[in-house]
Amino acid sequence: MSQVATKVARVFRFAGAILAESHGEYYLVGELKEPCNFEDYGFEKPPESDPDKPVRYKKLRMIGTVISDSEHLEMETQGEELAELLFRRFVIPRNHSVSDRLWRVVTVKAENGIADARWLEQIPDEAWQIVRENILKCL
């Protein structure tokens, strides 16, 4: 019996937001926390977010060689489904910023800068919500 290899999606921090790479496509999840020249990282600058109608994620257009941090999560979910999952897991809805605390929970056992985050895909939303609430209310 042969096993089919599953393409792994990679998820990085990117100027305070999240950058997800899936099948050669890139999604920006959450709002940036620091200035970023997208062209320096191989992307066309996406349209500015409307503060009254923030989006959950944006698909980025590559214009060159993509440069990303070597530290990342590995996940199996792909495409827009991955971007939506990352939004639900890491983003604070009131300001669309990515929670550093939640990111650290997932990356605490990273080896050589790579964290296997497939468990995060499998945990039910209700269970993650309990973890999320407790992490975010801690000082």
Taking residues 105-126, report their average pLDDT.
Answer: 92
**What are the structural domain ranges in the chain?**
9-137
Q: Report which secondary-structure segment, H or E, holds 122.
A: helix 118-122
Query: Tell me, what DSSP letter sits at residue 93?
Result: T
Higher pLDDT, 68 or 119: 119
Taking residue 26's Cβ as centre, other Cβ atoms within 10 Å add up to: 22
Taking 80 as the threshold, does the pLDDT of residue 55 lie above it? yes
Coil, helix or strand for 21?
A: strand
Contacts of 119 (CB under 8 A, 6+ apart): none
User: pTM for this structure?
Assistant: 0.89
Q: Which pLDDT value is given to residue 6? A: 60
Query: Tell me, what DSSP letter sits at residue 111?
Result: B
Q: Render pLDDT for 75-99 as a digit per residue (tens, 0 to 9).
A: 999 999 999 999 999 999 888 999 9
Q: 3-state SS of the chain: helix, strand, coil percent to 5? A: 30, 25, 45
CA distance 131 to 111: 23
Q: 25-29 and 57-60: which strand pairing?
A: antiparallel
Q: Which pLDDT value is given to residue 1? A: 41
Taking residue 17's Cβ as centre, other Cβ atoms within 10 Å add up to: 23
Taking 90 as the threshold, does the pLDDT of residue 110 lie above it? no
